[in-house]
Amino acid sequence: MKSNNKIVIASIFIGLIIICIGVSIGSSNINIIDTISILGNKILNIPLKEGIDPKNISIVWKLRLPRVLLAFLVGGCLATSGAVVQSILKNQLASPYTLGVSSGASLGAGLIIVSGASIPFLGGFTLPVVGFICGLATVYSVIMFSSKIDKTMSNNTIILAGMVFSLFVNALLTTLTALFTEDLKSISMWQMGSFSMKGWSYVGLILPFVTIGLIGVLKYTREMDILTFGEEQAKSVGVDTSKVKKHLFIFSTVLAGGAVSLSGTIGFVDLIAPHIVRKIFGSNHKYVVPMSFLVGGSLMVITDLVARTILSPTELPVGAVTALLGAPFFGYVYFKKAR
């Protein structure tokens, strides 16, 4: 226990360092000491270090910090959601995307892109809001469908229902892009994911999803621990497995849906981070849930840093970079499990 607590503290420190590095490096590199001084001045009102260019202050505070924080929160949401879904379905290769949240959000985003619709009081946030609603609706449909055809909501039923709904919604999106080919590039770029030109308003928009989703998931860490021993054993100690599953799926969808709707479909972080955390901390969800958030957020910051610097000034889609890194990892997990 004490060993885990030390690793937690070290991980938090490393996460903060990664955030500072992400804020420092870019098209115009800024000394990390200057970056820390700027952040200390803005957040804690610590006197600013002498000789810092005012232009660098604007770059750090108005451009890079909100982007890095958004990447961290999105990565944390996806990783935590992935940890929950893997725990419930007892499958290391499962993810929130298995339930159709990404396909639903993509369809919602596609509808807004081709129609150009804008809800008056939402304005530029119409697309992420509609994307989230469609993603949540898809997952809710999967849960309701699974519970209707299988009262026990077995894992195989949920996975198969998720696949069916995902394929159906993806078919609708494909039909939409075929009818509106002029918007194909915009839809494809949105699906590949990006944090470019997303400021403090996006950080503020994702915070309610983070708060609601994390509090909801952390409320059920004990039940998730019990579920690892099997549903029959969980029922024998008084856990309403069907109800717990439904609630956890909803909270994990709030996390994943909020992340996808604001950043696009970014895969593999939700697979990699929980796997790393379980290797280090074991299966105790009191550690798995918060540490998945921290590791997933840190991985996303690193991935976004690679995406915007490796071919600078050209910026790669974040989803493409995570796929390049995550696909080999996915294969490693699968074949190791099979062996």
Question: Which pLDDT belongs to residue 115?
Answer: 86
**Residue written as token pair 């229902």:** 161
Question: Which pLDDT belongs to residue 235?
Answer: 81
End-to-end CA distance of the chain: 31
Question: Which pLDDT belongs to residue 2?
Answer: 60
**Tokens representing 9?**
């503290």
**Residues 267, 66 contacting (CB under 8 angstroms):** no
CA-to-CA separations, 26 to 30, 124, 146, 317, 328, in angstroms, rounded: 8, 26, 47, 16, 27
113-138 residue pLDDT tens: 888 888 887 777 888 889 899 999 99
Alpha helices in the chain (DSSP H): 2-24, 32-44, 54-58, 65-89, 101-115, 126-149, 155-179, 184-192, 200-218, 221-227, 231-236, 241-263, 269-281, 285-309, 318-338
CA separation for the pair 38, 45 (Å, rounded):
9
Question: Which pLDDT belongs to residue 91?
Answer: 79
**Residues 53, 282 contacting (CB under 8 angstroms):** no
Question: Which pLDDT belongs to residue 1?
Answer: 57
Q: CB atoms < 10 A from the CB of 51, how many?
A: 6
Instruction: Please enumerate in sequence order all residues whose Cβ is within 8 A of that of 274, keeping only pairs 6 or more positions apart, or say none.
Output: 79, 82, 83, 86, 288, 292, 296
Listed as ranges, residues in the chain with pLDDT below 50 are none
216-239 residue pLDDT tens: 999 999 988 888 877 778 888 888
Instruction: Please enumerate in sequence order all residues whose Cβ is within 8 A of that of 177, keeping only pairs 6 or more positions apart, or say none.
Output: 110, 183, 184, 187
Question: Which pLDDT belongs to residue 165?
Answer: 93
Question: Which pLDDT belongs to residue 12?
Answer: 92
Question: Which pLDDT belongs to residue 333?
Answer: 66
Give the CA diameter of the chain: 68
**Average pLDDT, whole number, for the chain?**
87
Question: Which pLDDT belongs to residue 56?
Answer: 87
**Residue written as token pair 């996975």:** 159
Return the CATH number at 177: 1.10.3470.10
Domain count, the chain: 1
CA separation for the pair 21, 29 (Å, rounded):
10
Domain that holds residue 58: 2-338
CA separation for the pair 27, 336 (Å, rounded):
40
Question: Which pLDDT belongs to residue 293?
Answer: 96
Q: Pick the closest to residue 67 from 210, 255, 202 (CA basis).
A: 202
Phi, psi of 145, deg, nearest 5? -65, -45
